[in-house]
Structure 1
């Protein structure tokens, strides 16, 4: 695992678009029309739409803009979301499937227009998107998906031949989709937000939300923001007054990337939901036309569980086996939230909300989903029309029966971690090797203990500061992760990813 350890840090998108100087943290109290919490694709797209509509906007990001989940995506911009349309046709009817397809397709074309208008050099490329299977017993599934996607209005067809370097049993193809460099696009969007009077603040964690007319946000810097409307676009909601955490399941996936000869380019975007999931695409590799960047994603797992190093090895082995000669140079991971009823949650934050909104639950399709959310939320805030607002409304109740099995399964998994993780035997601290971490039982409670490369121990409380589940150690990324709701912390307890906003408490050992 020497390569994995060496490169399992920043993604390719972050290393090739560092973004220059940090934007300032919020220093003084601020009064704006709209405050957007979260500087990923959903937050920045919402802020951009609102700034262009003449609203005064402030974006508050706990870390760096476009550097969290969005900075670690595979950046496929497509309306073909694995095998979603056949399911939507059965659960939401043909009209629901049609609205889903239309909303995602229009988001892609909206983005294409922005790329052209702003002249963004973000490697925007049109590609066909494929969902494939290699098992002949599953061909009927992709045939049904092709029919459902076509009936929903997408240019979809069933095919048996693809550009992949191995045979498939069948695939859905949707033409005219896109891929891009996400961070370059969003940094250009951020600059345009500021050009239209918007304010962007980094290193500013929002700690409190008082709803009203106006709303008020308190932050980690001590300064506050007063806003008529507030958008919570933090991937997993940091404020969850509708208990959306009961309808969201966190999922982490690994990514390996590196250059391949251009003749090995499969010339498309591919995914299979089976065999641990595998997603494949390529991107331009700098100015070198003789090579392309291969990006392979897969090995999904619940945060804080299992052997992440072994998962990286399996994914890297798969990439090398199918793309001989690939030089894997980057290893990173991304995280998604799967909604229990398939459809993202975008709209009012809770049943009684009047001026607070949320965007979450994109289920691995945050690029087109985030772009769609920006248009939907801007329409709600400015009083515009949006045909698919009801489809994505977080307050929806009609799907309660349909999502019950997935809902109950998710809650059972959360309960298992909340109770079962506390019953696991505790390993001896002295046996912990350098670079490893474990949750151990002490007289003062469960501690998350990490031994660094120099042999020094770092101990923090093992209770996640979100809702109290016990964290688990991810050895490949050297992070503590909550298996219940996906919060992540570094080895000294600092929050790396929410919904937690407070660090794990330091402890002596």
Structure 2
């Protein structure tokens, strides 16, 4: 495999790196503090900076280095088969507002790109949700009808640009794809020009709400702000227990060059075969970069992710002759149990704390949408979508209850069962026989211990108890990370936090005592 593929760095991050900024030190003040620098955080910061507010962005790692830097970069209002679900759960009016808001976000990217002169490889393409098996046709016919009723230019078709026959597909016209980090680089440049401040390597570990709010970072630096936006993908400081309304999934991604003649001329997704999502991006030599996503799994369940990458490569090579994976990465998404994202004021906090989460894999339009909604609320305006995404909504409890209860059952199952499996007899395997590159959870001194052997044979040992709510982590053998199955926190092999909602690292253990 190409060495680039082993780095885990996405094509977007490799080809359009964002500028670096120093960590925050001392005490700072701002009108608005934004925690997180993905597309939600930077879109919100830009909207507010353009409105004349003093904005500071605080990023635990590097700008857009989380979910946004590992997306596929689709800008579309067709979200697999969401409209028939929305129509049945929330009614036709909710489906219409969802379609209108997502379409408005797409237009916002087009407008902002033009206004700021951002070259982000924006291309207008149709979007498809397809199936290969006849059993899926009726559902897609219903989705095409629901999407059309919601106001999209949608149709049911049986022919696509994919290099294999399909049984049916929903097609929506005039959607878009772009280079997400090139777009955000343009926003960052303008935020700085407008007086905004950005700080990387600054993890916020405490939020005291009030007027002003007070943020404390892992270094002891502080920020006092009249408004705070929690844009951390999975919300931290979750007094409202929004995590109980979210489920996690992770997708593998591969990318490599193909001739322009193999471009399927659209954006495609299917839930068959463990999900398959396809798009292309222009390359300087006139060819196209084929981006293939799939092999969805719940983080922290011990899936063989290397085998998942192998299946994804085999699928791409079979359908696109000559394809070779030059890059590989993974993306994590969360979904709300009632289908709609959560965007607006944070329940249980004051009126000046805001949150955005639950985009179900469609965070490019969702993130831009969140920026416009939150910016309007911060400025004292109305929610332009009349509370459709309000995190404090009551929703449709009867229709949403099965998904909510299943999410809680899965969390409880892992919290109890994983401990019994691990602590009962240590059947996950002794650390001494662990091969290089692998990891396992064992019992050590009566406590669950996460052990990894690196390629040089050295053992790394940390507590296996997630510092968020105490579930046990499991090893991801492709990314070499520890992942929590309950709420999706991810840690490095030495325990450092890679992805929240956890704020503290896993405690280190002495590998010589195993």
TM-score class, shorter-chain normalisation, is: over 0.9
Other-structure match for 2:9:
10
Instruction: Map 1:395-406 onto structure 2 (within 5 A).
Output: 395-406=392-403
Instruction: Indicate the SS of the match to 1:402.
Output: helix
Pairwise mapping of residues 415-434 of structure 1 onto structure 2 (< 5 A)?
415-424=412-421, 425-434=427-436
Query: Aligned partners of 1:402 and 1:207: how far apart in 2?
Result: 36
In the alignment, which of 130, 133, 136 is matched to residue 135 of structure 1? Answer: 133
Once residues 40 and 242 of structure 2 are traced to their aligned partners in structure 1, the CA distance between those partners, rounded to angstroms, is: 17
User: What residue in structure 2 maps to residue 240 of structure 1?
Assistant: 238
Partner of residue 458, structure 1: 460
Residue 33 of structure 1 and its aligned partner are, at CA, apart by: 0.7
Superposed CA offset, 1:256-301 (max 9, x none): 100001100000000012221100000012x111x10000000100
- Conservation of the 8 A alpha-carbon contact between 1:235 and 1:360: yes
Residue of structure 2 equivalent to 1:292: 288
The equivalent residue for 2:252 is 254
Equivalent residue of 1:275, what SS?
helix
Give, in angstroms, the shift of residue 351 of structure 1: 4.2
CA contact (8 A) 2:4 2:327 kept: no
Matched ranges for 1:60-71 at <5 A: 60-71=58-69
Computed over aligned residues only, the root mean square deviation of the Cα atoms, in angstroms, reads 1.2
1:223 aligns with 2:208: no
**Equivalent position to 1:327, from 324, 328, 336:** 324
Stretch of structure 1 that moved more, 379-388 or 229-238? 379-388
Q: Return 5+ residue gaps in structure 2 as ranges.
A: 422-426
Question: How far 1:6 moved relative to its partner?
Answer: 5.0
User: Would you say the 8 A contact 1:208–1:217 is kept in 2?
Assistant: yes
The normalised TM-score by structure 1 is 0.97
Say if 1:128 and 1:177, in contact at 8 Å, map to a contact too. Answer: yes
- Are the aligned partners of 2:209 and 2:349 in contact in 1 as well (CA < 8 Å)? no
Kept in 2, the 8 Å contact 1:480–1:490? The answer is yes
Question: Which whole-Å CA distance do the structure 2 matches of 1:361 and 1:74 have between them?
Answer: 17
| Cα distance in 1 for residues equivalent to 2:506 and 2:135 | 47
- 4+ long deviations beyond 4 Å: 2-6
1:312 to 309, 312, 325: 309
Residue 442 of structure 2: which of 440, 444, 448 is its match? Answer: 440
Q: How does 1:376-415 map to 2 (within 5 A)?
A: 376-415=373-412
Equivalenced residues, count = 505
Map of 1:361 onto structure 2: 358
TM, length-normalised to structure 2: 0.97
1:72 aligns to 2:89 (yes or no): no
Q: Write the distance in 2 (CA, Å) between the matches of 1:236 and 1:351.
A: 17
CA–CA separation in structure 1 for the residues paired with 2:163 and 2:355: 41
Cα displacement (A) at 1:135 = 1.1
Is 1:373–2:375 an aligned residue pair? no
Residue 408 (structure 1) shift: 0.7
1:155 aligns with 2:153: yes
Q: Aligned to 2:483, which of 481, 488, 494?
A: 481
**SS of alignment partner, residue 77 of structure 2:** coil
Partner of 1:490: 492
